[in-house]
Amino acid sequence: MNKAYKYKLKPNSSQKALMVNWLDMLRSHYNFCLRDRIESYEQVKKPKMGNYCDLHTKAECCPLTCSVSKHSQLGEPFKGDKKRNDYEMQSSELPNLKKTRTWYKKIHSTVLQQNLRSVTRSSQSLGKQAET
């Protein structure tokens, strides 16, 4: 026999303000990560002129040989010899995000990781729409 429980939150005004703040931070993080993935996809699909770099030396090089922008926030593309996917690259940047933007320390890391999973689902559905 399965049972389900429903709970209704009744936060006070300070708790409401805190939750609204969290939602605003998650929304901006989601939009930032999605924009970064879209820009990275467009950069690989059709390279633009700009600052390009060699992955190993982080030096400037010709866009005909390297289509990776050094301003990308996706993180390191390789871990050892294994290529990482977008989620792994962005989740590896979460500790740096919490160091540089200290207000993200208030949000639990699992919530930020779940936010990245939502970005992954959105970017995958955008890719499927682009193919059709």
For 20-66, the pLDDT digits (tens) are 999 999 999 999 888 888 877 776 676 655 555 555 566 665 555 44
* Residue 56 belongs to some domain of the structure: no
* Residue 59 belongs to some domain of the structure: no
Which domain range does residue 80 map to? 25-43+74-131
| Interior angle at CA 125, CA 95 and CA 85, nearest 5 | 40
Q: State the alpha helices, DSSP H only, in 9-131.
A: 13-45, 86-92, 94-100, 109-131
| Interior angle at CA 90, CA 15 and CA 114, nearest 5 | 40
72: nearest Cα among 46, 42, 102: 42
d(CA 122, CA 112): 15
Instruction: Over range 119-131, report the average pLDDT.
Output: 74
* Residue 8 belongs to some domain of the structure: no
* Residue 31 belongs to some domain of the structure: yes
Q: What is the pLDDT of residue 99?
A: 92
The domain tally of the chain equals 1
Q: What is the pLDDT of residue 53?
A: 58
Q: How far is CA 82 from CA 74, 78, 93, 94, in A?
A: 16, 6, 17, 20
* Residue 98 belongs to some domain of the structure: yes
Task: Name the 3-class secondary structure at 43.
Answer: helix
* Residue 83 belongs to some domain of the structure: yes
* Residue 102 belongs to some domain of the structure: yes
Please say if the pLDDT value at position 124 is more than 90: no
* Residue 17 belongs to some domain of the structure: no
Instruction: Over range 76-91, report the average pLDDT.
Output: 75
Q: What is the pLDDT of residue 86?
A: 80
Q: What is the pLDDT of residue 67?
A: 45
